[in-house]
Structures are given as structure tokens and as C-alpha cells.
Chains A and B, each alone.
Chain A
Amino acid sequence: MLYNGIEYPVFRASLHNHSTTSDGSFTVAEHARFFHDAGYDVFAISDHRIPNDVSSINIPGLTVISGIELHPMGPRGILWHILALDVPKDFRGIYDTGKEAVDAAKAVGALVYVAHPRWCGLHVEEILELGELNGIEIDNSGCRLIGRAVNDEIWDELLDAGARPCHALATDDSHEWNCFAQGWTMIAAEENTHDCIMDALRKGRFYATQGPDFHSIEFRDGHFRATFSEAVSAVVVGSRGLGVCGAMPRWPMPGCEVPPATSIEADVSSWPKGSWLRCQICDANHHYAWTQPFFV
């Protein structure tokens, strides 16, 4: 895809998975093989409280990332679910507070995300107390089983509150077959190596998706442009009531469909300086994709 005018190969990533090291049904090697065989290029293993030594996983074409999910006690008796990507194999897995866990992960250079905030019932103020994070999960397909998969409301609240960079991943939170290849992250990196993938994640050069694809994303001089696979709705979302609608079904009922859209352009140069924007599209199968936020 073209990302801000530069052509990148795009790599499909599953960034939140559990193995028999904690409560998953498959070993790390089995899990990695399943995702590779399903066409994935990047696989992160993120067992609860226990890191994995992934150095022995050698599947050509698959970058394996050592991650961990941390669960210190949080506000109102809610356990934190903090996803840290790229931790060493001896990374400590137990912390007393969320802030400690986040700081420890950041200290070793890991990327840190709050997993499924809606599933947890977290309030935005509580997440802000963790300090600077890389972001959250916008979509966790395991949580669709209890109707709480998509976290767009809290993502927008965090962006409104000034959280930066505030990226958002789509993941499976895969433990077994019922959460497999339902949500993934497409990373635009120079090549499929550990360093290039982590660099792209850190810089937000990716999009999250349940199925639709972005072909190009550009934000330059107050103008946003994107092209994508066929979508029945495409919106550039901003703070509160700001937004630009590129495509929307006029009447969401049979017989009144409108032709799908494959591009959107939005002039946001008049939006307040420092405000944010992101683009979301939805296809005919009711699956969404989301760009990362940009800032005016």
C-alpha cells in the first residue's frame, strides 16, 4: 500500500494470542504455524503473566514477537489487561499496579496497549492514569462473544483527552479456534523483520481491520485521502461532532442500496490545530477497518 506517498509491503499480524503456557489450547509453535498457514506474516504470543522464549520458533516468512499480557489489580476491582509487545524472555510478569506494569514494559522497549477496555468496563480517566501508552485494542474478536468487541467510544474519549499516540490494534485474543482470524492488524513496513515491524507499529504505520483493506492512506497539509476495498460507509471521524462523511447508505434497507465507495477525501485544514482524525470504513459484511489517528 501507499502510506503517505511511500509504497510499502503490508504484513498481516496477529498481535494478541495465548498458548498452553497460560490458558490457550495450542502450544506456541502450533499457534504460530496455524497463523502462518492462514496467511499471516507476523505473530505475537502474549500469555498471561508469563513470557515465552520464541527464539526456537523458526517458520520462514513469519516474524514472531514475544509479548505478554499483564494483570495487576486496577480500579474498582477490575484487573488490568495490559498487552506488552517485544519483551525479553525473562521479563517479570507480576506487578502490583497498572502504572508499574506499564513503566516496566516501557523500560525494556516494549509497546504497551490496554487490551479490550470495553470488556473490562474501564473508564477513560482510569486508562489515562497509566500514563503514556502506545494505545488500545479497537477490536478484540474474542469479546464479540459477549457483545463487547469494538472499543471505538473509549478510543475517541482517549483521543479527546489528549492521549498520544493512542494507536489501536485489531486482534483475536486467540485462545482456541473460536477466535481465529476475525480481526487483525496490517502493518506497512519496509520488510518483514522484527525491527522493521516494531518500528512500523511504534510509528503507527498500520491499520486495524475485521476484513476490509486500505490500499492507500495519506494525510498531508490538512488533507486526508484514502483508497480502500469496497465499503458501504466511509467516514473521517474527528473530535465530538467533527467528521467528514464520504459514503453512507441512504437507507439501510434492502432494495435501497447505494453503490459501494472505494475512496474518501477530506479537507480538515479548518479543524482546530492539534485535533485528531481517523478514518473508518465498513463493508457489506458489516466488517470495519480503521486507520490510525492523525493530528491536525
Chain B
Amino acid sequence: MYNTKYSMKYMGDDWHVCRANLHAHTNLSDGTISPALTAFLYSDDDALALTDNGRCQDNATMKNALKTIIPAVEWTLPGPRDTEVTLLVYGVPEGFSRVPSSLDEAFGIAADVGALCYVAHPHRSGLRSRELLEMGRFDGIEIYNAEARLVGKEYSLDTWDNLLDCGMLNCHGIATDGFHHPRSFRCGWTMLCAKDDSTPSILDALRNGRFYSSQGPVFHSISYSNRHFHADFSDAEEALLIGNTPHVPESCNMIIGRVEGFPWPGELFEEPVREMDADLSCWSNATYVRCQIRDKFGRYAWSQPFAI
């Protein structure tokens, strides 16, 4: 059912695509199954990041199960208003076990070792957009974390758009299982356009936003150039281009795409939509655009934002 032999056109170039789950815990921290079993569960994927709390695992024993184990770690640190900020850090050295005591220290360590930092499940953590803006220094957020379905806070799309709207245009959005237990297996993943399945190639794709996030739908091509956006994708019931809030004058009051029940309530389209092709010249004051699609099962996929 899951064909990992993906390729796609990204910004006009053909790319090999790696499917990765970028957030998984084992019983070495607060997950429920062993690293070996976790790797086996994800053996259909091209890459897996084991983000156990506080320590990047030594992945030698799992490398036969999966093509690539991305060296990663999760840090949970004090945040504003007694919140906890959970950071997913990718590209740390294997066996890395330094645990920072503050966010400043965490971002400093990550920068020192050249790692990428993502804020995990901001909605679930109770983090506000303005606090994230003040924090800065991270490469993106989880826009979907399947494990957070258990508390009804699996999406952080509003936060993502707030950050983008406020100028954080390099804030990428990843979808993950947030795997702790098999109940959250294969719910959300990241599709990276990488040269090959090696860790450096995957991290390069992540760093440059050359990926999309998905709960199921597939993008076959994505391109943006000179205010023209184009994407081809698997059958979708809804497809939208989303940009700045309408308070940016003449930015995105123009509806581009197809939405359930529009223009007539209850309207059912006979054919799914498979393409988005849009001229954004009218979005003269917008600063970003991203594409969001939804299939007939209610599953979403999201492109990364493009700066306009």
C-alpha cells in the first residue's frame, strides 16, 4: 500500500523523494516499544528520526532495518508562563547527550553543531504566536502531530499562519506521528526532495524547505516563480492557496482553489481536483503563499510556504 519509490518535480527539477517520520519515541524514553521494533515498524519509510528525550540514540543496531536513521534528540525546556517548549533537534552527532537548561542554551548548542530545531506541537504546549516570534531561532514547527489527537490539539496551522504573517517566512511545517505508541503510527509524515537517502541529503532538504507534509495525499509537482504557483497532486476534494490574512490589503481576498460547498452549499464535485495553477499578481501586498489540499478521506497535505 505504501510505495516509497517516490519522485516529484520541485521548482522545475526532478527529485528523488524520501518519506520520513521526524518524531518518534522509544522505550528508552517515554515511548512504549523498543528502538529495534520502532525501526521495524517504520521499515517501509526511507528515514526515521528517533527523538528520544535528552539523548540521541546510537543507531548502529537499527541501520539494517531502515535506510536512514536521522540522528536527533528531543529537548523539553521551560518556556514562558510556566509552559514547556519541546524542541525536535535534527542533525546532532550520534550519542549526543548534552541537555540544555534553557531555550537560549538549546538554540546555541544546536547552532554550534549545525543542527535544525523545530518546535513540537505548539498548540498542545499552549504556546502563543507572539511568544514563538520572540523566541525566534527555530527552523519550523510541527503543524501536525498525530499523538496530540488524544487531547484534540493535533494541528497548529493557525500558529503557522500567524508566524508567516508576521514575517517568519522561513518557518517550515512538518507533519509527524509524534510516535509514542502504535496508535499513532502512519498518521503524518514528511516527504523530502533529497539527492539520495543519506542523512546529509535529507537534512539539506529539510533546511531548504524542499519538502511537503502529508497525512496521505501526494504532491507530484510544486513550483513557484514570478508570482505564478503550480502544483499537481493526487485526487483532492479541496485545494487552496493560503496567504496573509486579509488585513494585508488586497492580499488574499481572492479565493483560489476549490472548497467544499462552494459556490453552492452541499455541492458535490463530480471529479476530484488534481492541479492548482494560479497567477498571484493580484496578491500585490502578500508576503507568502502555501498550498493545502484535502482528499476524500479528510486527510491533508501541505506545501511549504513560498515568499512572494
Q: Which residues of A contact B (CB under 8 A)?
A: 76-79, 118-121, 123-125, 141, 144-148, 151-154, 156-157, 160, 177-178, 180-182, 233, 235-243, 245, 248, 250-254, 280, 286
Nearest residue (CB) in A for B162 is A121
Contact B265 A182 (CB under 8 A): yes
Query: Which residues of B, 98-145, contact A by the 8 Å Cβ criterion?
Result: 123-126, 128-130
Main secondary structure of the interface of A (DSSP, over half): mixed
Q: How far is the CA of A198 from the CA of B249 in the complex (A)?
A: 36
Query: Which residues of B, 250-299, contact A by the 8 Å Cβ criterion?
Result: 252-253, 255, 259-265, 292, 294, 297-299
Q: Residue-by-residue, is B145-180 near A (CB-CB < 8 Å gives 1, otherwise 0)?
A: 000011111011111011001000000000000000
Main secondary structure of the interface of B (DSSP, over half): loop
Partner of A242, one of B151, B240, B244: B151
Question: Within 8 Å CB of A119, what residues of B?
Answer: 245-246
Known: A240-B126, A245-B151. 7 other contacts (CB 8 A): A125-B128, A144-B260, A147-B292, A153-B123, A153-B155, A235-B152, A237-B152
Contact B242 A146 (CB under 8 A): yes
Contact B128 A248 (CB under 8 A): no
Nearest residue (CB) in B for A278 is B152
Instruction: Give 11 A-B contacts (CB < 8 Å), ordered by A residue.
Output: A123-B130, A145-B262, A148-B158, A153-B156, A153-B157, A156-B123, A177-B264, A243-B151, A243-B152, A252-B298, A280-B152
Q: How far is the CA of A243 from the CA of B124 in the complex (A)?
A: 10
Contact B245 A123 (CB under 8 A): no
- Least CB distance, A277 to chain B, in whole angstroms: 10
Question: Within 8 Å CB of B262, what residues of A?
Answer: 144-145, 178
- Least CB distance, B164 to chain A, in whole angstroms: 10
- Least CB distance, A227 to chain B, in whole angstroms: 18
Q: How far is the CA of A239 from the CA of B247 in the complex (A)?
A: 30
**B186 is an interface residue with CB less than 8 A from chain A:** yes
Question: Within 8 Å CB of B247, what residues of A?
Answer: 76-79, 120-121
Q: How far is the CA of A251 from the CA of B182 in the complex (A)?
A: 9
Contact B299 A252 (CB under 8 A): yes
Contact B126 A251 (CB under 8 A): no
Q: How far is the CA of A144 from the CA of B260 in the complex (A)?
A: 9
Contact B153 A252 (CB under 8 A): no
Q: Given A79-B247, A144-B259, A178-B263, do A243 and B297 touch, yes or no (CB 8 Å)?
A: no
Question: Within 8 Å CB of B244, what residues of A?
Answer: 121
